[in-house]
A and B are shown apart, each in its own frame.
Chain A
Amino acid sequence: MTLPNLQDYHRPATAEETIALMQQHGDGAMLVAGGTFVHGLEVRGLLEGVTALIDIGRLGLASIRREPGGILLGATTTLADLAAADFVRGEPAFGAVRDALTYPPPQIRNVGTVGGCVAAAAPLYDLPAALLALDGRVQALGAKGARELPLDGFFRGLFESALAPGELITAIAIPAPPARTTSAFLKLETNANDLAILSVAVRLTLDARGAIGTARVVLGGGVGEAYVRAAAAEAALAGRKADAQAFAAAAEAVAGDFEPVADHRGSAAYRRHIAGVYLRRALTTARERLG
């Protein structure tokens, strides 16, 4: 028994019921989807205050829908189901999503969910960095109704997001990528179950002349309490031809974009160095995907 104050495990059938339970239990409420993140907190003794586990597996939120404006990923879609989607497997624009989903082992891919890894708000997770690079948006539902929040700005600190108390994520929306869009994700880890020492997600949209119209560079892993939008690296790419010189300039600029964590897994100088190396590699991969 590692949840000393737990009263009950609920399996609501509707979002309304879920929201009512969250209101009833306030800070004691903890949502469960795949359960992997919750379990990780539990074994670290961080869930002593939890009075109710609320399993959202029956809300019917496991779906992948292609709509005119983009893609809608239901919150409880598993990482494995997302990895199997045609657009993830085949389209350069979703290369970062494809890459990010190759890192977790099958046991995590089969149960971990899209909404869960976003709600966790820990920059150590892979997929959210890719979704952020694709300008993803969070669809949330609470007692006051539904709203949509950009992922950019959603992550406020470790385990802290822009979700209001009593709100749950129902879906992640990814706007339809413009033509000539490509992306990639790369992660430094020590084994398949490792959290990122450092990760990089990039997205490039080229304009008609082949220059970089839009660039997104997102850093994860030991980069602080939340994912970092690397503004200097993005600025170094914008408007330039998507070639090795531009990528080298971005790799140099990214060092100034974040304050690396220093721990036994890597010094700050090492993480800064790796950020440049991995950024250049990710950009090169993304560029190659456009052919």
Chain B
Amino acid sequence: MQKLITLQVNGERHELAVEPDESLLQVLRNRLELVGPKKGCDSGGCGCCSVHVDGRVAYSCMMYAVGAEGREITTIEGIGSPATGLHRLQQAFIDAGAVQCGYCTCGIIMAAKQLLDTVKQPSEDQIRLAIAGNLCRCTGYAKIVDAIKLAAAQT
């Protein structure tokens, strides 16, 4: 039996009918066509699906969409785009060359964003811990850390 829910995503309200066991990730990607959050492991191990829920980073693959009703969801699409202007983290990832295949990028930027939202000048340790829940199979992380430092320096 589908459930009718209202989801608040990137500042917009969406009325949706969803399966009771549909994950927030499935709803974002398949129903709202927000494909920034990626499906990697689908089980809380890789961080590709990271979004913000009430301003805090979370794995959208591990959250039921019905349970996310009433909370403020932000995906990478909601923090900046070529049309509306890039967020300084997005720009820094380009400038530092921190993207290879890009599959991990949206999730890592959302994890880094929580850090920069709360700590103005993070140490390298704080940066590494902030993205500890995100895997990147390409870059080796060095340039990702550089990019986050670059974005932090621009505050």
Q: What residues make up the interface of A, taking CB atoms closer than 8 Å to B?
A: 1-3, 6-9, 11, 32, 35-36, 39-40, 42-43, 53, 55, 57, 80, 104-108, 110-111, 191-193
CB distance from A85 to the nearest CB of B (A): 16
A106 adjacent to B43 (CB under 8 Å) = no
Whether, in the assembled complex, B62 has its beta carbon less than 8 Å from a beta carbon of chain A, the answer is yes
B56 partner residues in chain A, CB cutoff 8 A:
80, 106, 110
B64 adjacent to A111 (CB under 8 Å) = no
CB distance from B149 to the nearest CB of A (A): 18
What are 20 A-B contacts defined by CB distance under 8 Å?
A: A3-B21, A7-B20, A8-B1, A8-B3, A9-B66, A35-B64, A39-B43, A39-B44, A40-B44, A42-B21, A55-B67, A105-B132, A106-B114, A106-B130, A108-B133, A110-B56, A110-B57, A110-B58, A111-B58, A193-B133
Q: How far is the CA of A104 from the CA of B53 in the complex (A)?
A: 17
B67 adjacent to A36 (CB under 8 Å) = no
B67 partner residues in chain A, CB cutoff 8 A:
9, 11, 32, 35, 55, 57
B64 adjacent to A108 (CB under 8 Å) = no
A107-B21 in contact given A11-B66, A35-B62, A40-B43 (Cβ < 8 Å): no
Q: How far is the CA of A32 from the CA of B64 in the complex (A)?
A: 9
Q: How far is the CA of A72 from the CA of B67 in the complex (A)?
A: 25
A-B contact count (CB 8 A): 86
A108 partner residues in chain B, CB cutoff 8 A:
44, 59, 133
Q: How far is the CA of A225 from the CA of B19 in the complex (A)?
A: 34
Q: How far is the CA of A55 from the CA of B70 in the complex (A)?
A: 13
Q: How far is the CA of A192 from the CA of B133 in the complex (A)?
A: 6
Q: Count the B residues whose beta carbon is within 8 Å of the partner chain — how many?
A: 30
Task: Report which of A7, A55, A104, A107 forms a contact with B58, defined as CB distance below 8 A.
Answer: A107
User: Given known contacts A3-B20, A7-B1, A111-B59, what 4 new A-B pairs fall within 8 Å (CB)?
Assistant: A8-B3, A36-B59, A42-B21, A108-B133
- What is the 8 Å Cβ interface bit string for chain B, positions 103-125, against chain A (1 contact, 0 not)? 00000000100100000000000
B59 adjacent to A107 (CB under 8 Å) = yes
A53-B20 in contact given A107-B59, A110-B57 (Cβ < 8 Å): yes
B44 adjacent to A107 (CB under 8 Å) = yes
B59 partner residues in chain A, CB cutoff 8 A:
36, 107-108, 111
A39 partner residues in chain B, CB cutoff 8 A:
23, 43-44, 61-62
Q: How far is the CA of A124 from the CA of B58 in the complex (A)?
A: 21
Whether, in the assembled complex, B50 has its beta carbon less than 8 Å from a beta carbon of chain A, the answer is yes
B47 adjacent to A1 (CB under 8 Å) = no
B1 partner residues in chain A, CB cutoff 8 A:
7-8
CB distance from B89 to the nearest CB of A (A): 15
CB distance from B133 to the nearest CB of A (A): 2
